[in-house]
């Protein structure tokens, strides 16, 4: 017999999302169900359905939490006062790949087809996801102003290409095509050098 646990309304929702995230991490998206989730927390399925209409709604909430975690991580990088702008950018690239590869199931929910391909995202998730990308666009503008990235490229397109590059590396690692740590680090460094080289070449041409 499962012992039911009493929660305040807000606390139960947080617990559902947190525990569901753990379950997805452990067993993938297929391993998550309302029955298993309710049993693990110690509440009825009815209580869980008070907070989420269906599994997709719950998956979107997990993805939201993922974006919040990533935003917190990247904000910490950019707020470090003892790092040069170039090293902040370098840490950003390495942190992105680390976050994706250390949380593959969560990353899949954030950027994969399960939610986005079928247009199953909730409005809350859309707002959080778009805000996360817009933050990257604003950082790209700042990097351009600081002379780190090439300045005569459109900031939005440059942010999109940067994200596409990092996403591609992350998928190669998650899918097992590249698995050795030294290969991953070298790819990250190569990505940093490629994006910084454009700015350095432009500055060199201007001086010449």
- 39, 27, 30, 1 alpha-carbon torsion, rounded to 10°: -10
Output the CA angle 145-163-20, nearest 5 degrees: 125
Q: Which CATH architecture has domain 60-207?
A: Orthogonal Bundle (1.10)
Do the Cβ atoms of 155 and 144 come closer than 8 Å? yes
CATH code linked to domain 1-52: 1.10.10.60
All CATH 1.10.10.60 domain ranges in the chain, comma separated:
1-52
Q: pLDDT tens, 28-44?
A: 888 899 999 999 999 88
Q: Which pLDDT score, from 0 to 100, does residue 2 have?
A: 44
**Helix ranges restricted to H, the chain:** 9-27, 34-41, 45-49, 55-78, 85-102, 104-111, 113-116, 123-145, 155-174, 181-207
pLDDT average, residue stretch 177-193? 88
pLDDT average, residue stretch 154-172? 95
How many alpha carbons fall within 13 Å on the CB side of residue 149?
23
Q: pLDDT tens, 195-208?
A: 996 655 555 554 54
The model's pTM: 0.85
All CATH 1.10.357.10 domain ranges in the chain, comma separated:
60-207
């Amino acid at each position: 017999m499962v012992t039911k646990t009493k929660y305040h309304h807000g606390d139960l929702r947080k617990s559902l999302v947190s525990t569901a995230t753990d379950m997805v991490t452990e067993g993938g998206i297929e391993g998550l169900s309302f029955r298993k989730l309710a049993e693990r927390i110690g509440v009825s399925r009815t209580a869980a359905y008070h907070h989420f209409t269906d599994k997709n709604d719950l998956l979107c909430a997990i993805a939201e939490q993922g974006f919040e975690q990533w935003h917190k991580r990247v904000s910490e990088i950019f707020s470090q006062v003892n790092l040069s702008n170039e090293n902040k950018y370098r840490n950003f690239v390495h942190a992105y790949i680390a976050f994706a590869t250390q949380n593959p199931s969560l990353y899949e929910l954030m950027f994969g087809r399960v939610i986005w391909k079928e247009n199953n995202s909730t409005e809350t998730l859309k707002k959080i996801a778009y805000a996360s990308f817009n933050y990257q666009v604003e950082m790209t503008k700042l990097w351009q102003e600081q002379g780190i990235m090439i300045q005569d490229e459109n900031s939005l397109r440059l942010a999109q290409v940067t994200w596409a590059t990092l996403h591609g590396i992350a998928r190669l690692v998650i899918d097992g095509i590249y698995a050795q740590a030294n290969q991953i680090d070298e790819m990250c460094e190569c990505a940093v050098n490629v994006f910084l080289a454009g700015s350095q070449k432009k500055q060199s041409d201007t001086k010449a």
